[in-house]
Every structure is written in structure tokens, then in C-alpha cells.
Amino acid sequence: MTRPRPASATHSSNRSRPVRRALGAVLGVALALSLTACTADELVDVLDAIVVELDGGPSGQATDAPGGPDGSGSAAAEGGLTDVELEQARADLAALPVKGRAAMTGYERDAFGHGWIDVDRNGCDTRNDVLARDLDDAERPAGCRVLSGLLDDPYTGALIEFVRGEGTSQLVQIDHVVPLANAWVTGAQQFTDEERVAFANDPLNLLAVDGSANQQKGAGDAATWLPSNRSFRCEYVARQVAVKAAHGLWVTPPEREAIERVLDGCRPAG
């Protein structure tokens, strides 16, 4: 099946310049107004709440994107799934509706809520909860805000030191495993506002990851982007399937084929 080609990097960059200039102007005004009213820590909170996603634009094409005989680029992939989890992923995939993409008409990030919220009512926003879950040795002295920790990045396999602060916080970003724009064109535009906010803050759909890998992924689905860390690909697509099953979304034909190829190449862990 012929897959659509992503837009060239030059075209994408040129098209995004007006958006970046507009965003820069807005942020400049917002930060100028905030400087006199916020402490340094509070200002970093403002920056952390700005979700830098390419959900509305073309997805990035990974250097080793799907295309091998098993979708993983290797003869077999061991990705941390048990026999039961692997069979569950296959069963969930088989049950997902297969349809074409809906139109992007009406999509905007704010349709999924304004930033992170406290979904589990523990007093902490979703970003800090995910950082505390995914970082090793997370320092959280006040019980909520994560100041530092070590990320064993699932997307690249690299170890990343997270230090909260301006210029460093974005080295570790919170990724929507099923991107919001992908969700929009596979059923979420029919959600209520409350359902979209719940989707955007669902811990099952969130991972702390390398910031550059998150930006490269953009709004890509499994047909156009997979983690460069092959050992995580089985768990990655299984999580995408679980999220779509839990929220009643569908998959496109190329997306389904790509996920199935990955799962067919998985070797259960242990």
C-alpha cells in the first residue's frame, strides 16, 4: 500500500515561520507581564505548561522508520511484553475499527484542555505525576513539583539527567503516545470536552521521553514513526493499541498494518 510522503523539511520550516513568529510574540508579552508577578520557579511552571507539540503539522520521519519485514528493522524484537500482554495487544488490535482519517477541520490543541490538570486529585498536575512515575531518583521535596531525576529514555535508550529550570526542563518532555492530532482524526473530534481533557491527561497515554525524539515524532502514527530504540517498539505499539481501545478510537489501514508488523516480530520477554 502506498503511503503518503511527509512534506519536505524545507516546506515545513517555511510554512511554520509565521506561526513561530506569532507564538514568539504572544509568549514575549505573556512573559513580560509575568516577570514582575512571578517568582523564578513560578515562571518555569509557566514555561513547562506550554505544550510544544507538532500535532497539527506533518509528522517527522524517523531515520529508521517502519519498513523492515517485521516493522522493527530486526528479525525479532524483545520489548518487555509478556505472552499475555502480547496476546492482549493482538486481540485489541483485531477489535479496533479500521477507517480512513477524518478531516483535521476544527482541530486545535486547546480542544483537549488548557495544559495539565490534576486528574487523580492528589494535588499535583499530570506533568509532575508522570515525571515522578518515569524518572529514577526523582527529587520531589515539596511532594509535588519534580526538581530533578534520571530518565532511562524509552524512545532512544539514552540516560538523560532531568534538572528542572528554564532551558533544561524541555530536555525531558511528556509525550502523548497516541498524539492528540491523531486522536482527533480517528474519533476524538466526536468526544465531549470532558472526554478530550481526560484523554490528554490519561497516564496510560503519557510517557516522559527525550525532548528531541518527541519533536521528531510530531503527530506521527506507527506507519510513519517508531522509536529508534527497537527494544521498546513492541511495548510502544501495544500501548498505542491499549489507548485506542480504552477511548474508542479507530486505526487507519496503514497504521494497523504497521502495528501488526511490529507485533508479529515481538518475542515475549522473560
Distance CA 209, CA 171 (A): 8
Burial 46-68 (b: 16+ CB within 10 A, else e): ebbeebebbbbbbbbbbeebbeb
Tell me the whole-structure pTM to 2 decimals: 0.78
Strands 159-163 and 148-152: antiparallel
Q: Where are the alpha helices (H) located in the chain, listed in sequence order?
A: 9-35, 40-49, 83-95, 126-134, 180-185, 193-200, 211-217, 233-247, 253-264
pLDDT tens, position by position, 65-110: 554 433 444 445 556 899 999 999 999 999 999 999 999 999 999 9
Q: Which residue has the cell 505544550?
A: 51
Within 8 A by CB and 6+ apart from 137, the residues are 148, 149, 150
Confidence at residue 175, expressed as pLDDT on a 0 to 100 scale: 98
230 in any annotated domain? yes
Distance CA 248, CA 85 (A): 19
Q: Using an 8 Å Cβ cutoff, are 177 and 209 in contact?
A: no
2 in any annotated domain? no
Strands 136-139 and 159-163: unpaired
> Which position has the higher pLDDT, 221 or 38?
221
118 in any annotated domain? yes
- Per-residue pLDDT, averaged over 190-214, amounts to 97
3 in any annotated domain? no
- Per-residue pLDDT, averaged over 158-165, amounts to 96
pLDDT confidence bin for 241, thresholds 50/70/90? very high
Three-class DSSP category at 92: helix
pLDDT confidence bin for 115, thresholds 50/70/90? confident
Confidence at residue 262, expressed as pLDDT on a 0 to 100 scale: 97
pLDDT confidence bin for 161, thresholds 50/70/90? very high
pLDDT tens, position by position, 16-44: 334 344 444 433 434 343 444 455 555 55
Grid cell in block for residue 223:
506507519
Confidence at residue 183, expressed as pLDDT on a 0 to 100 scale: 98
32 in any annotated domain? yes
Confidence at residue 79, expressed as pLDDT on a 0 to 100 scale: 63
269 in any annotated domain? no
Q: What is the dihedral of CA 157, 158, 162, 168, to 10 degrees?
A: -120
Number of domains observed in the structure of the chain: 1
**Which residues constitute the domain of residue 49?**
9-264
Confidence at residue 48, expressed as pLDDT on a 0 to 100 scale: 52
Confidence at residue 32, expressed as pLDDT on a 0 to 100 scale: 41
270 in any annotated domain? no
Q: Using an 8 Å Cβ cutoff, are 186 and 251 in contact?
A: yes
* Residue 242 phi, psi (nearest 5): -60, -40
- Per-residue pLDDT, averaged over 122-142, amounts to 94
Q: Is the pLDDT confidence value at 57 over 80?
A: no
Q: How many helices (H) and strands (E) does the chain have?
A: 9, 5
Q: Is the pLDDT confidence value at 56 over 70?
A: no
Q: Is the pLDDT confidence value at 193 over 90?
A: yes
Confidence at residue 77, expressed as pLDDT on a 0 to 100 scale: 56
1 in any annotated domain? no
Distance CA 74, CA 265 (A): 8
